[in-house]
Amino acid sequence: MFLPTTKDEMKKRGWDCCDVIIVTPDAYVDHPSFAMAILGRFLEKNGYRVGILSQPKWKNPESFLELGAPKIAFAVSGGQMDSMVLNYTSAKIPRKEDLFCESKNPYFSSIGDKKRYRIRPDRCISVYCNQIRTVCKDVPIVIGGIEASLRRIAHYDFWSDKVKKSLIFDAKAQVLIYGMGEYPLLKTVQALEKGVSFSEFNIENSAIISKDLPDCDDYVLLPSFEEVLADKNAFAKAHVLFEENDDRKIIVQKQDSRYLVQYPRIEISQKELDEIYSLDFERKIHPRFKNVPAFDMIKTSVTSHRGCYGDCSFCAIASHQGKRVVSRSKESVLKEIEKIACRNDFSGTITDIGGPSANMYASSCRKGGCIKNDCLKDGGGCKNLVSGTDDYLMLLSEAGKISKVKNIQINSGLRFDPCIMDEKFLREIMKKNVSGQMKIAPESGSNNVLKLMNKPQREVFESFLKKFGRIKKEEKLKKYVIPYIIAGHPGEGEEEAKDTKELLEKNNLSGRQFQIFTPTPMTRSTAMYYLGYDPKNGEKLTVEKDIRILKRRKDSLPV
């Protein structure tokens, strides 16, 4: 049974109200790859009545009361992707499709209707929260998801070209949850149910607004919003302090007369992660929706782990999921695949077993982790990094032996660093788990830019290509590398762009996986873009902001 989305569905369960209402701009899909489903099912398992308010007609505040007012809280998300990234291209042109909406249509009304408006509003969380406040003043609002995670301190906003406050202030919410939110949301709901005042909150992965500084000495004080707004050097200092803290200590930042107080990140265990993915999902689209393209892409995929220690400068994964990899047990993953294989609509192919970087599954640190988290070290790998590639190969092999499973594919990202892409692993996945195309992300052909991206140098990628080509020839395989490239990353001038083009042409690489750099909040690359220099060392950088030049660079790459 799906979580209720209407009062009639609530009535069938015998409910007069919900304890928590999860508000999302995405079509409701009850699948563990969708946040509204995994959070809703987790709260449900812990005894709470949860409703899903999917795609409210946000121009009408009353639409937020479709399920009535919740007893404990509204939990508001901007959806599976940041609303500004999903709504606009890197040239700030509105996108015409939304894969998380019915038939990709991002509008409530028909395409030809001049009164149409977007299902997913720009700055979705702020819009939703402000509309909820007009009709329901007294119920607490908790915000979360990627949109909140990347806006939890004062940050540069590319779309308005301004430095903005933490989203919790603009949204007028009581609690902001960053990262993967199952346990923090549960603890928040439990605290609200007990009547704990917000001034007494001290919940991992959360941030609140406080009138006072924390009652302890062990916190990191960032330059205030007013300081980072007025002075780029203060912005750079705040960014470096935040990044180096890596969510270990309490973060404090003054914004107007109050303080943002962010508490440290929780470290989830394998057992807890297994329990989350064992929840009773329908693995279907809710009947009120017919066709949600994003679901078609992942309906037979399985998440094997969370977190990524790649720490690419432009990537939001480390800020959201964290740098520490937590893997599910082999038994947990296989059990989920068995459930999928038993379904009448199963075609025989598991489209993915992976995470942010698939070949980080089961990897660990011999000494339990460190402050730097520099596990890959330009591809060579830290001496304390324990590669999990043998465990991952065993998982893939055993998954392929499950009844009715004919194919196991890997469609998550794969790192080409030799420490987690050794020859044995590469050979096996090329033979069994990669279809015709293997998508790999060198990102650039310029060593200067790659250093700023915190990616392996060009030589590491070219060494991988040689290994790939040799295995392909030895095994007589028809496999091809499809490269991901970012054009216009800070530090890229005309010479660096030529290096990238030369890399692709030299190695006979082409494809359509090329994109122009989009500055997303709080990443190191975005700080470089805004500042015009590297916040870590003050080194001035070339930052090209003319979209015509960037488009020309991108279009010059071999397709």
pLDDT digits (tens, 9 = 90+) for 105-130: 999 975 555 678 999 999 999 999 99
Mean predicted lDDT score pLDDT of the chain? 95
Closest CA to 129 of 168, 158, 98: 168
Distance CA 47, CA 303 (A): 25
Q: Which CATH architecture has domain 436-559?
A: 2-Layer Sandwich (3.30)
For range 182-196, the mean pLDDT: 97
Instruction: Specify the pLDDT at position 220.
Output: 98
> Which pLDDT band holds residue 373 (cuts at 50, 70, 90)?
confident
For range 158-174, the mean pLDDT: 97
Asked if 446 contacts 502 with a C-beta cutoff of 8 angstroms, the reply is: no
Q: Is 7-209+253-262's fold the same as 436-559's?
A: no
Q: Is the pLDDT of residue 153 over 80?
A: yes
Instruction: Specify the pLDDT at position 379.
Output: 73
Distance CA 218, CA 500 (A): 45
For range 217-245, the mean pLDDT: 97
Helices (H), 263-322: 270-277, 293-298, 317-320
DSSP letter string over 1-22? Answer: -PPP-SHHHHHHTT-SS-SEEE
Percent of all residues in the chain with a pLDDT value above 70, rounded to a whole number? 99
Distance CA 239, CA 228 (A): 10
Asked if 454 contacts 411 with a C-beta cutoff of 8 angstroms, the reply is: no
**CATH number for the domain running over 7-209+253-262:** 3.40.50.2300
Domain boundaries, the chain: 7-209+253-262, 436-559
* Alpha carbon distances (Å) from 247 to 149, 244, 319, 541: 12, 8, 9, 28
Q: Which residue has the higher pLDDT, 161 or 436?
A: 161
Instruction: Specify the pLDDT at position 116.
Output: 85
Asked if 359 contacts 414 with a C-beta cutoff of 8 angstroms, the reply is: yes
Q: Is the pLDDT of residue 142 over 80?
A: yes
- Tokens 């989920």 sit at which residue? 336
Instruction: Specify the pLDDT at position 241.
Output: 98
- Tokens 């903005």 sit at which residue? 164
pLDDT tens per residue, range 418-446 = 999 999 999 999 999 998 899 999 999 99
Instruction: Specify the pLDDT at position 111.
Output: 53
Other beta carbons less than 10 A from residue 248's beta carbon: 11
Angle at 268 between CA 263 and CA 274, to 5 degrees: 150
Count Cα atoms within 13 angstroms, Cβ side, for 49: 20
Cα-flanking dihedrals φ and ψ of residue 157, to 5°? -110, 110
Closest CA to 304 of 396, 185, 403: 396
